[in-house]
Amino acid sequence: MSLLTDEEREFLFNEASFLKGLPRPLIAELISIANVAVYPKDGYVTHIGDMNSDFFLVISGVISVNACSSSGKQITFLRVKAGEVYNMLSPYIDTPRFLEARAVSKTRCLWVKGRDYFSFVQKHPPLAARMFEIIGRALDAANSRILDLMEKSVDERIKRVLNTLHAKFDSPIMITAVEIADIAGTTTESVLRTLSKLRKLNIIETQRGKIWINEPETLRDSEFGELII
């Protein structure tokens, strides 16, 4: 078990979006009941079928939350970046998770046991309110994604994914076509064809594993609120 550095402490008190604006003593108390968990690149945070009900707040790095179907296809639901949380609701649910979570790069997390987190929330209504806010947005995002899948073309979905990744992780986006396909719900080949079109239009530039967005406006399509990835 490792401890927090001073910069990490600083980050939690002043930057982390999940905690931003909450009272300092509340944040301090949360830190006091948490451990630090470290995952190497590609390391598993939780496995499919786990009953893991622990709470994670990413301090640095990125976690990718996926489902794998029986046909072997991967689907990515979420990329959790520093300041954001994963498994926030699992202390309240007793069914096994059908999702797995893996570190995209080396990742450090605040890590709180499920029942400790549960009683902590019970003591702190402002934290509950913050959680409702976050989940509300997550639910909207999920619905938004359902809409996309129901009625947008593959091209449009890929553009939206690029736009969202750009908003969240800035240019250049460090991602491969395979991973974009897993998020957009399509195939690698289709993604590469779309990227090729966008490149010819000078909207993006690409290198192996990297994408620069030149014209973010062109990608935007806000018919149904923003996607969250």
Footprint of DNA on this chain (CB under 7 A)?
A: 153-155, 176-178, 185-190, 192-193, 195-196, 206-209
Verify binding: residue 75, its own copies, rule CB under 8 A: yes
Q: Which two tokens stand for residue 210?
A: 């990297």
Does the footprint of its own copies cover residue 122 (CB under 8 A)? yes
Helix (H) or strand (E) holding 191: helix 188-200
Residues 54, 107: contact at Cβ < 8 Å? no
Which of DNA, its own copies, none lies near 138, with the C-beta cut-off 5 to 8 A by kind?
its own copies
Choose between 140 and 155: whose C-beta lies nearer to its own copies: 140
Contacting its own copies (CB under 8 A), which of 51, 146, 178, 201?
A: 146
User: Pick from 33, 128, 178, 201: which binds its own copies (CB under 8 A)?
Assistant: 128
* Residue 196 binds: one of DNA, its own copies, none (C-beta under 5 to 8 A by kind): DNA
Query: What residue 131 binds from DNA, its own copies, none (CB within 5 to 8 A, per partner kind)?
Result: its own copies
State phi, psi for 41 to the nearest 5 degrees.
Answer: -50, 135
Residue 68, class by beta-carbon neighbours within 10 Å (0-12 exposed, 13-18 middle, 19+ buried)? middle
Is residue 154 at the binding interface for its own copies, with CB under 8 A as the rule?
Answer: no
In the bound state with DNA, the residue whose beta carbon lies nearer, of 140 and 155, is 155
Tokens of 127: 């934290």
E strands of the chain, at which residues?
35-39, 44-46, 55-60, 62-68, 74-81, 85-86, 100-103, 107-112, 173-174, 204-207, 210-213
Q: Specify the residue, 130 or 145, whose C-beta has the smaller distance to DNA.
A: 145
Between the CA of residue 94 and those of 2, 85, 122, 128, 227, what are the distances in Å?
A: 29, 19, 18, 19, 28
Which residue number, 92 or 212, has a Cβ lying nearer to its own copies?
92
User: Which DSSP string corresponds to 92-151?
Assistant: G--SPPS-EEEESSSEEEEEE-HHHHHHHHHH-HHHHHHHHHHHHHHHHHHHHHHHHHHH
The entry of DNA, its own copies, none near residue 188 (CB within 5 to 8 angstroms by kind) is: DNA
192 binds, among DNA, its own copies, none (CB under 5 to 8 A by kind): DNA
> What's the CA gap between 197 and 44, in Å, rounded?
35
Which member of 70, 200, 207, 217 binds its own copies (CB under 8 A)? 70
Contact footprint for its own copies (CB under 8 A)? 67, 69-71, 73, 75, 77, 89-90, 92-93, 95, 98-99, 118, 121-122, 125, 128-129, 131-133, 135-140, 142-147, 149-151, 185, 223-225
